[in-house]
Structure 1
Amino acid sequence: MAQAAQHFIARVRDRSVVIGVVGLGYVGIPLALAALRQGIRVVGFDIDQARVDQINAGRETIKHIPMDLIVEGLANGRFEATTDFDRMAEPDALLICVPTPLSRHREPDLSYVVKTTQEIGKRLRKGQLVVLESTTYPGTTDELMRPILEQATGLASGTDFYLAYSPEREDPGNAQFGTSDIPKVVGGDGPDALAMADALYAALVVRTVPVSSTATAEAVKLTENIFRAVNIALVNELKQVYAAMGIDIWEVIDAAKTKPFGFMPFYPGPGLGGHCIPIDPFYLTWKAREFDIATRFIELAGQINTEMPYRVVDRLAELVDSRLRRSFSGSRILVVGLAYKKNVEDMRESPALKLIELIESRGAQAAYHDPHIPAIRKSRKHGALAARASTPLTAESLAGFDAVLIATDHDEVDYTLIVAHAKLVVDTRNACARHGLAGETIFKA
């Protein structure tokens, strides 16, 4: 092992190593907290000055993530956030946690990774470890990042600096599994890079899972989320079939999951949301085309999941027409739940945003209620919805809507109030049944 690698590992063990976290969002902040818990100094980098100022003031940036350790780190000098990328030479390791969205044509948008790598390349010094955590296609670390860093510096990966990939495995709002509780897959560009990254993450999480290459580690992340996307597509399709037969898919799943082997429960919904499952499968389908391989199974799952908001709005319109005896065009719909999953404020790729747009495209009026999202934040795909405010959930407000569409099943929502005062309830999450509510106005979709 090279002397630089040995020195890095020794610094990890005595907690004198300094970590730089690039991207202070849903992945970067929890990662910084995991390091701070181990007494490791962290410098956080972000391009958003307002976010950096908020963090440095000790104010909450993500609702479900406590700021206690950040505040303590700010006080004792073990943490600070900055927009000054010239300081990237300070940390011994730079961990990249930036977005990897899809383009308008559903192709990988690695512009954030490229720009971050270019910024690192301007300051990279010998002995530094650079780790990408963002979800991407196999080959990104080796084929995209390494050439940028080597060409910018004249340094060689595996000799002068070290490059690795370790996919994030965050599950926002999961109280049982935080960053430190989840095993970390690690792949390195060479044995020294692997040893360094493995030692670093071993200090932060319960267990590491070293693999043979960065491409393998990249493939692990995609496999995890494609597995979920495909199985969600399966239950979404089964929901349509069983509904036509008069069978409740939720009852079927609850009974099936009593089998102690050979079955894992997945649940239907109004579409996929979040920063991983709606996006990651398309990273692999795009890369597979380079090898003349068609990923038909994955693409079919993507098609089924993408169609779900359209199916939900079709069902909603049908029920407004048949049960309320009025045209869907001109009706008023309250969408309950804007976040992509329950009990969080994360609205990235949320199907609720698409539902609102589809409802309004058919001439109806849409409003939303979400206890975690007081106003819709600006996004690339749904910019026209920005700044809309959450509607208070009261008996009076419910009386003003023709139907309530439950898109996200937050625990804080008063479903009893909804059922008591709504003219029509269309439930995509089985929330009413799980709260023991039944009635002639409740329908599943």
Structure 2
Amino acid sequence: MVYNISGRVVMSKLREIFRKRGPIRKVGVVGMGYAGIPSAALFADKFDFVWGLQQDPRSSRYKIEMLNKGQSPLKGEEPGLAELIQKVRTEGKFECTSDFSKIREVDAVTVAIQTPFKDSAILEPDIGALEEGLRQIGRNLRRGMLVVLESTITPGTTKGMAAGILHDESGLAPGKDFALAHAPEKAMAGRLIQTIQEHDRIVGGINRESTERAVELYEPVLTTGKIIAMDSNAAEVTKVAGDMFRDLQIVAANQLALYCEAMRVNVYDVSAGINNLKCEETTRAALYPGAGGHCSTKDAYHPERGSMPAEPKPDNPLDTGSLYVLARRINDFMPAHMYNLTASGLSRLGKRVEYSRIALLGWDSINNPDDTMSTPAAQYYNMLTKKGAKVTIHDPYVSGYNGVKISKNLVDCLKGASAVAILTGHSQYQALKPRKIKKLTGLQHPVIVDGKNVIDPDAFINEGFVYLGIGRGDKNHHDISN
């Protein structure tokens, strides 16, 4: 609201448009992926109707067909998701389509389109698909609608690029004719429904009216979570900063693990000790190290780009560079460390990577769901194959990846392997039996490299394996059992 010169309350143009339009009843969700699908199902459970909107290339047509049959196209374990999709389809409250003109029917539309790297060497996000999605929305945008970006974006994008595209395509003014906000997605693969409902939700509009309308959209889907309202720029920074702080925790664990290996110390004992050292001023929480798998690998670079046009420039010590970028580079090194451990294990047996058959277990980025974004397995695989190793790959959830053959048959994958490398902590790998694995390899002393601390080192060492694990300096130099 605004006040005129006499002190009378005068309703803003956008708020008056909302009053005439009424509450949010129909929603559109652009992007049927790990964020879009659970969000669409939850919105459909709370509002009158939801259109799921998916571009229709051959590679994603199956999503539309499966969702309209009441089935989830997402692989892996997602408690409650399949049942919720079936429920809202049966009730006639959800439908998936590639027809973006359906946006004209809705009161609010969210955009959950991935922004991956263009090139890992360039370290810039590819926003081409996001831009096209915004153009599609802009062509069908109507006065009084709400548009919310959920994608991870560089700070300033909502008020800048997004607002510009929507205005150019629709002729409508953001913040005056329609609401525009950023509400970064909170979906976590493996527990998508739970995290969206139970985690607090950041909601930031380009003005107060946009924020209020976005709160109206997200509040009904929360159970224990609460809304944290702010400006869209602050919301964009909050999203990437949260991932950056987690990156710092991860790099602290990974760097500590490398030190512990050199000093022949068990990093997990150290972590337990750190977590026990609590005091009033500090809550200590040491994360565990690993081969990789942090899905937000690009987020450390967003503030760098976002602050470039700022005046005055950020005040930093000279020649230090970004702490967050340094952390990301160390974390990006962990698949290479897995390679080094593999080569070390083979060397103890007089073998070389070049002539070895290696079984790679786990192509997923995280445990149990089918989520391959920024998978550490790709870097590890490329290093091995470049050296001439023959690599077989197993993952219970992933069928293929950019032409890389991935099997669901663990027995075939392990046959004849000189080394077995675990890169994902799938529950199936936690149940691996050393005697059975050794029999499948056909070797007296196979190598096993544990990148996720999912197996018992002593059980494999006693069976004759050469064991190496990230941070397991207490075990990596063991005598080879006969």
Does the pair score TM above 0.5?
Answer: yes
Give, in angstroms, the shift of residue 435 of structure 1.
Answer: 10
Give, in angstroms, the shift of residue 376 of structure 1.
Answer: 1.3
Aligned to 1:405: 421
Give, in angstroms, the shift of residue 147 of structure 1.
Answer: 1.5
CA contact (8 A) 1:419 1:425 kept: no
Equivalent position amino acid for 2:285 in 1: M
Equivalent runs, 1:18-417 vs 2, <5 Å = 18-48=26-56, 49-63=61-75, 64-65=77-78, 66-104=81-119, 105-174=122-191, 177-206=194-223, 207-260=225-278, 261-274=282-295, 277-291=296-310, 292-293=313-314, 296-322=322-348, 324-373=349-398, 375-377=399-401, 383-385=402-404, 388-390=405-407, 392-394=409-411, 398-413=414-429, 415-417=431-433
Report the secondary structure of 2:74's partner residue. coil
- Deviation string 1:227-277 (CA, Å, 9 cap, x unpaired) is 111221121111111110001112211232233443112121112342xx2
Separation (CA, whole Å) in 1 of partners of 2:303 and 2:216: 29
The answer to which of 214-223 and 355-364 deviates more is 355-364
CA contact (8 A) 2:419 2:449 kept: yes
Equivalent position amino acid for 2:291 in 1: P
Give, in angstroms, the shift of residue 180 of structure 1.
Answer: 1.3
Equivalent position amino acid for 1:209 in 2: I
Separation (CA, whole Å) in 2 of partners of 1:390 and 1:273: 23
Separation (CA, whole Å) in 1 of partners of 2:137 and 2:436: 57
Separation (CA, whole Å) in 2 of partners of 1:398 and 1:427: 15
CA contact (8 A) 1:184 1:209 kept: yes
Q: For residues 108 and 68 of structure 1, do their structure 2 counterparts lie closer, same or farther at Cα, with a shift above 3 Å needed?
A: same
CA contact (8 A) 2:335 2:379 kept: yes
Separation (CA, whole Å) in 1 of partners of 2:66 and 2:52: 13
Give, in angstroms, the shift of residue 20 of structure 1.
Answer: 0.3
The answer to which of 58-67 and 46-55 deviates more is 58-67
- Deviation string 1:272-304 (CA, Å, 9 cap, x unpaired) is 342xx2121122223233345575201111110
Separation (CA, whole Å) in 2 of partners of 1:397 and 1:116: 40
Report the secondary structure of 1:416's partner residue. coil
Report the secondary structure of 1:203's partner residue. helix
- Deviation string 1:160-219 (CA, Å, 9 cap, x unpaired) is 111011011111113893311121111111111111111111111134434331000011
Q: Identity, % of aligned pairs? A: 27
Separation (CA, whole Å) in 2 of partners of 1:244 and 1:417: 28
Q: For residues 281 and 186 of structure 1, do their structure 2 counterparts lie closer, same or farther at Cα, with a shift above 3 Å needed?
A: same
Equivalent position amino acid for 2:95 in 1: E
Equivalent position amino acid for 2:429 in 1: V
Separation (CA, whole Å) in 1 of partners of 2:37 and 2:377: 26
Equivalent runs, 1:415-434 vs 2, <5 Å = 415-418=431-434, 420-422=436-438, 423-433=446-456
CA contact (8 A) 1:369 1:392 kept: yes
Separation (CA, whole Å) in 2 of partners of 1:170 and 1:437: 36
- Deviation string 1:318-349 (CA, Å, 9 cap, x unpaired) is 11011x22122110110111101111111111
Q: For residues 418 and 410 of structure 1, do their structure 2 counterparts lie closer, same or farther at Cα, with a shift above 3 Å needed?
A: farther
Q: For residues 42 and 239 of structure 1, do their structure 2 counterparts lie closer, same or farther at Cα, with a shift above 3 Å needed?
A: same
Equivalent position amino acid for 1:314 in 2: N
Report the secondary structure of 2:285's partner residue. coil
Equivalent position amino acid for 2:252 in 1: L
RMSD (CA atoms): 2.2
Separation (CA, whole Å) in 1 of partners of 2:271 and 2:430: 25
Separation (CA, whole Å) in 1 of partners of 2:71 and 2:457: 35
Give, in angstroms, the shift of residue 39 of structure 1.
Answer: 4.5
Separation (CA, whole Å) in 2 of partners of 1:443 and 1:78: 52
Separation (CA, whole Å) in 2 of partners of 1:32 and 1:288: 33
Give, in angstroms, the shift of residue 75 of structure 1.
Answer: 2.9
The answer to which of 168-177 and 277-286 deviates more is 168-177
Where in structure 2 are there 5+ consecutive unaligned residues?
A: 2-14, 439-445, 471-482
Separation (CA, whole Å) in 2 of partners of 1:138 and 1:405: 38
Q: How many residues align?
A: 428
CA contact (8 A) 1:117 1:149 kept: yes
Equivalent position amino acid for 1:256 in 2: I
Give, in angstroms, the shift of residue 27 of structure 1.
Answer: 0.1
Separation (CA, whole Å) in 1 of partners of 2:356 and 2:428: 26
The answer to which of 350-359 and 124-133 deviates more is 350-359
Q: For residues 193 and 391 of structure 1, do their structure 2 counterparts lie closer, same or farther at Cα, with a shift above 3 Å needed?
A: closer
CA contact (8 A) 1:416 1:437 kept: no
CA contact (8 A) 1:285 1:298 kept: no
CA contact (8 A) 2:41 2:94 kept: no
Give, in angstroms, the shift of residue 424 of structure 1.
Answer: 1.5
CA contact (8 A) 2:149 2:183 kept: yes
